Structure 1
Amino acid sequence: MARLASVFFFFLLCFQVFAQKTSRDSYAVPSVAPVIPAAQTKSVDGIAHFINRHYKTPQEKVQAIYQWLAANVVYDVQALSLGPQYYERQALITQTLATRKALCQGYAEVFHALCAQTGIPSYLITGFVVPRSTSTPRSHAWCAAQLDGQWYLFDPTWGAGQLENGTFVSRINQRYYMVPPARMVQTHLPFDPLWQFLPQPLTYEEFLSSKATSPRPKRTFVFLDSLAAYAAASPKAQLAGTIRRMEAHKMIPAVALEQLNDLRKNQAVIQHNETVDLFNQAVTSFNHGIDQLNQFTRYKNQRFYPVKPETELRKMTTSCTAQFQEAKRLLQLVKSRNNTQLLLPLENLNSQVENALMQAKSQEMFVTRYLKTPLKQRPALFYKQALAEKE
Structure 2
Amino acid sequence: MGVNMYIKFSIVIFFILAFFNTINAQEPNFSQYGEIDRQVKKTPDSLSNNIMRLHHYLDSIGNDDQKKIRAFYMWIITNIKYKDQVELMFDKNMLFYMGSNNCSSPVCVLKKKKAVCEGFSKLFQFFCQQSGIEAYSIGGYISKKGVLQDRATHSWNVVKINNEWRFFDLTWAYAILEYTGIKRTTNEFYMVSPYEFILSHLPLVPMWQFLDTPVPISVFNRGDEQINKYLTETQPYYNYQDSLKNYNQLYPVERSIKTAHDIYLTNPSNKFNRAIEYFRYARIVLNSQSSLEIKDLEELIKARYRIKIAMVLFRETQDVSSQLMFLQAQDVLLLLENWIQVTRSKDKMKS
Instruction: Assess same fold via TM > 0.5.
Output: yes
- Which residue of 2 is the match for residue 93 of structure 1? 109
In structure 2, relative to structure 1, the CA distance for the partners of 1:170 and 1:184 (3 Å cut) is: same
Q: Does 1:109 align with 2:122?
A: yes
- Which residue of 2 is the match for residue 48 of structure 1? 55
Encode CA deviations 1:85-133: one digit per residue, 9 max, x unaligned.
453614432234xx3x43212221221121122232111111121189x
- Which residue of 2 is the match for residue 79 of structure 1? 85
In structure 2, relative to structure 1, the CA distance for the partners of 1:57 and 1:274 (3 Å cut) is: closer
Shift, 1:276, TM fit: 6.9
Shift, 1:80, TM fit: 6.7
Structure number with the bigger relative contact order (C-alpha 8 A, sep ≥ 6) is: 1
- Which residue of 2 is the match for residue 63 of structure 1? 70
- Which residue of 2 is the match for residue 152 of structure 1? 166
Partners in 2 of 1:104 and 1:242 — Cα distance? 20
Partners in 1 of 2:280 and 2:108 — Cα distance? 19
Partners in 2 of 1:342 and 1:49 — Cα distance? 41
Counterpart of 1:261, as a letter, is: A
What are the residue-to-residue correspondences of 1:118-197 with 2, within 5 Å?
Answer: 118-130=131-143, 139-162=153-176, 168-172=179-183, 173-197=186-210
CA contact (8 A) 1:160 1:170 kept: no
Encode CA deviations 1:314-335: one digit per residue, 9 max, x unaligned.
xxxxxxxxxxxxxxxx667874
Shift, 1:49, TM fit: 1.8
Partners in 1 of 2:82 and 2:216 — Cα distance? 30
CA contact (8 A) 1:44 1:113 kept: no
Q: How many residues align?
A: 266
Of 267, 275, 278, which residue of structure 1 is paired with 2:281?
267
Partners in 2 of 1:73 and 1:345 — Cα distance? 44
Structure 2 counterpart SS, 1:264: helix
Partners in 2 of 1:343 and 1:230 — Cα distance? 30
Partners in 1 of 2:174 and 2:260 — Cα distance? 31
Partners in 2 of 1:45 and 1:181 — Cα distance? 31
Give unmatched runs, 5+ long, in structure 2.
1-29, 88-97, 306-335
Q: Which has the larger radius of gyration?
A: 1
Instruction: Supply the RMSD in Å over aligned alpha carbons.
Output: 3.6
Structure 1 counterpart SS, 2:43: coil
Partners in 2 of 1:277 and 1:335 — Cα distance? 17
Structure 2 counterpart SS, 1:186: coil
- Which residue of 2 is the match for residue 353 of structure 1? 350
Shift, 1:147, TM fit: 0.7
Give unmatched runs, 5+ long, in structure 1.
1-27, 283-329, 355-391
Partners in 1 of 2:343 and 2:77 — Cα distance? 54
Partners in 2 of 1:73 and 1:193 — Cα distance? 30
Q: Please give the TM-score of this superposition, normalised by the length of structure 1.
A: 0.58
In structure 2, relative to structure 1, the CA distance for the partners of 1:168 and 1:85 (3 Å cut) is: farther
Structure 2 counterpart SS, 1:145: strand
In structure 2, relative to structure 1, the CA distance for the partners of 1:186 and 1:30 (3 Å cut) is: farther
Shift, 1:184, TM fit: 0.8
Counterpart of 1:233, as a letter, is: L
In structure 2, relative to structure 1, the CA distance for the partners of 1:138 and 1:263 (3 Å cut) is: closer
Counterpart of 2:220, as a letter, is: F
What are the residue-to-residue correspondences of 1:225-264 with 2, within 5 Å?
Answer: 225-249=242-266, 251-253=267-269, 256-264=270-278
Encode CA deviations 1:338-359: one digit per residue, 9 max, x unaligned.
55556765665454333xxxxx
Shift, 1:257, TM fit: 2.8
